[in-house]
Structure 1
Amino acid sequence: MKYCEIIIGPPGSGKSTYVDKKIDLLKDRNPYLINLDPGNINTRHYDYSITEKYTVNQYQKEFNKGPNASTKDILSEFVSDLNSFYYEKLVDNVCYLIIDMPGQVEFLINGDSMSNLISLFIRKGYSVSVICLIDLVFFNHSPLSSFLFTLICVSLLEVPYVCVISKCDNFDKIGFNYDLEKITKLDIFNEKVNDKFTQSIIQFLVENPLFRYEILDYDNENTLKYLQYIIDQSSGYIYDEDYSTDYSKLDVEDLFSKYKIKE
């Protein structure tokens, strides 16, 4: 069986850092790393980067388009020739893919590049999981927007997904108002708000719990290990005959004990 992690999330959520950390964590799986964000200039760790064809700046200058339109077009061109890329780079011996995507959510809403990408890898025998990162600082400023971004992403992608709050090392620094575990379970919307539209969104989220969040703190390596165990459950990797890990033995309550507000 072959496996594919597709990493999504808004700009600044830590997608590239996440990929870097997986290099060492998954070294026994020899993952093949792909960057499909033409605005990402830090590509030294990737086995392939879409910037080999175009960067956003190059495309903007050549075709007189804005950054978002350029990113969308570059990605669309790549996906249109994805079958050739597969046979050129992946067909022989790549069994574990990690793909770093652009941060703009409009690619999921207004285009078919993402769905076509997923469909091809499924046809080629990959078990695909989407990893959706939202950083803790964004949660602190816009909790409802964070939940909505996640909801849009997981609703539009018809594959298993894992939702993650990243950069949890900032928990003490930003003076968070909630225990982190309450956020992961969507358990922070207890107070009634006056705005009817906002209240209706909150009610929908509470009554339709389509997801929950895992946490990621690179200062707490066990969060990365436990997250990988959850991803392996999502993709079915835990059923691989060679699968062996002690990540499942990690104490989840202990993981969250660090992220509680001080009384």
Structure 2
Amino acid sequence: MACNHELYLAPQVLLKARLPPQFQLHEQVNYFIPMIYGELIIGLPGSGKTTYVKYKKEYLAGRNVYTVNLDPGRWERDLRNDGDAAEPGQGDRNGLQYGCETKCNSVPLDLPPPQKNCAGERSEEKSAETRTDRFKFDFDITQKYDTRKYMKQREVGPNLAVKRIMEEFVEDYENLRNIFCDEDRYYLVDTPGQIESVFVLDKLLLRLQRDGIRLVTVFLSDINSMASIESLSYTYFVTMQTMVTLNNSQVNVFTKLDLLGSIRLIGRLSNLVELNLRVGEYPLLFRVLYSFIERESLIEYQVLEYSEDVLGYLQFCIDQASGFVNEIEDENALTEYLNGIKEKEDILRAYEEKEEQFEEKEEQFKRSARS
């Protein structure tokens, strides 16, 4: 469902004002309970989940953000950031396999270097101290479970250990009650990169929804997934599997748009995001998959770069999906928001200019190589 600017308020306004809680009728007991809001962040390794949590906590500072890590394998990355990993690759032999996120030994997890945003302006640079200090969650499941010890005691591999730890954690409802207990907080929940963890998250969402806790699923996909037919097909399948399994409001996002000028996609970004590709010459399986998605309007994508315009519009779409702003009746705040938010078409148009510049440079390189 597309974002409707005529109905809802903007993140810039929401940061400044504390909203009255929305109330929901409990399913089993005849009384009203306050609705608690937040985001359940899902994505494959390397999609930038932890970076997303870090930047969103800064951006939504006015909402009293509470961050939660439910990835039991995060201890591996923390060891590397502390300098406790002796040699690059040692953790791969002794610990968890998490793709490129665990192999970053000298740089912080997923943090992009200073980039120019899509408008050509320099993004605000973080200090060296901020970039080297690892992000600390308000609640971290690794403080409760030792994944390495769990693997040794039960003689299981890393993926199965992560899955079982999450199952044990979700089964003990007091764990959830103690975390999601403050109606004045906005929750950002980081999750493991293994796709099988989605089946555990389904139970988590069901338990939380009974108590009026509304987490929107934010599914992150790396921009590299649009660089080939195979990776894009896999992204579509995983996205749909997550939507079907969780049966929850979901916002799908292509991340790391700052890399757009250095990666050749299979089509223009706007066509990929708006599902407007011409697939006549693509392989049959992809054509069938794409036609099904397009016909049924199953998936809609947003984009993510850590600039004010892009991040603001994305938060606006998330707030729509959660119903976070349904109770706001302040016309002045509504007017202020509508004047400040940027349209999705304008955001994508700025990226088109970046793509054209990349194509021009590539063509110049080919001409110089021929000569």
Please give the TM-score of this superposition, normalised by the length of structure 1. Answer: 0.89
Any conservation in 1 of the 2:251–2:317 contact (CA below 8 Å)?
A: yes
1:46 equivalent to 2:129? Answer: no
- Which of the residues 86, 100, 104 maps onto 2:194? 104
Any conservation in 1 of the 2:71–2:162 contact (CA below 8 Å)?
A: yes
Bigger relative contact order, structure 1 or 2 (CA pairs below 8 A, ≥6 apart): 2
CA RMSD in angstroms comes to 2.2
How many residues of Structure 1 are paired with residues of Structure 2 in the alignment?
257
Any conservation in 2 of the 1:32–1:94 contact (CA below 8 Å)?
A: no
- Which of the residues 173, 181, 190 maps onto 1:91? 181
Residue 181 of structure 1 corresponds to 270
CA shift digits 1:94-120 (9 cap, x unpaired)? 532111111111223xx4x21110011
- Which of the residues 244, 248, 269 maps onto 1:159? 248
Any conservation in 2 of the 1:3–1:128 contact (CA below 8 Å)?
A: yes
User: 1:19-168 maps to which residues of 2 (within 5 A)?
Assistant: 19-41=53-75, 42=78, 44-81=135-172, 83-108=173-198, 111=199, 113-141=200-228, 142-168=231-257
Q: How much has 1:194 moved relative to structure 2?
A: 4.7
Q: 1:194 and 1:21 mapped to 2: Cα distance? A: 38
Residue 217 of structure 1 corresponds to 305
**Per the alignment, do residues 189 and 114 of structure 1 end up closer, same or farther by CA in structure 2, a change over 3 Å counting?**
farther
Any conservation in 2 of the 1:189–1:202 contact (CA below 8 Å)?
A: no
| Secondary structure of the structure 2 residue equivalent to 1:54 | coil
- Structure 2 segments unaligned to the other structure (5+ residues): 1-34, 79-133, 360-371
Q: 1:189 and 1:9 mapped to 2: Cα distance? A: 27
Please give the TM-score of this superposition, normalised by the length of structure 2. Answer: 0.64
1:203 equivalent to 2:295? Answer: no
**Larger deviation, residues 135-144 vs 90-99:** 90-99
Q: How much has 1:70 moved relative to structure 2?
A: 0.6
* Aligned-pair identity (%): 32
Any conservation in 1 of the 2:71–2:190 contact (CA below 8 Å)?
A: yes
Q: How much has 1:191 moved relative to structure 2?
A: 2.2
| Secondary structure of the structure 1 residue equivalent to 2:275 | coil
**Per the alignment, do residues 114 and 182 of structure 1 end up closer, same or farther by CA in structure 2, a change over 3 Å counting?**
same
Q: 1:12 and 1:18 mapped to 2: Cα distance? A: 11
Larger radius of gyration: 2
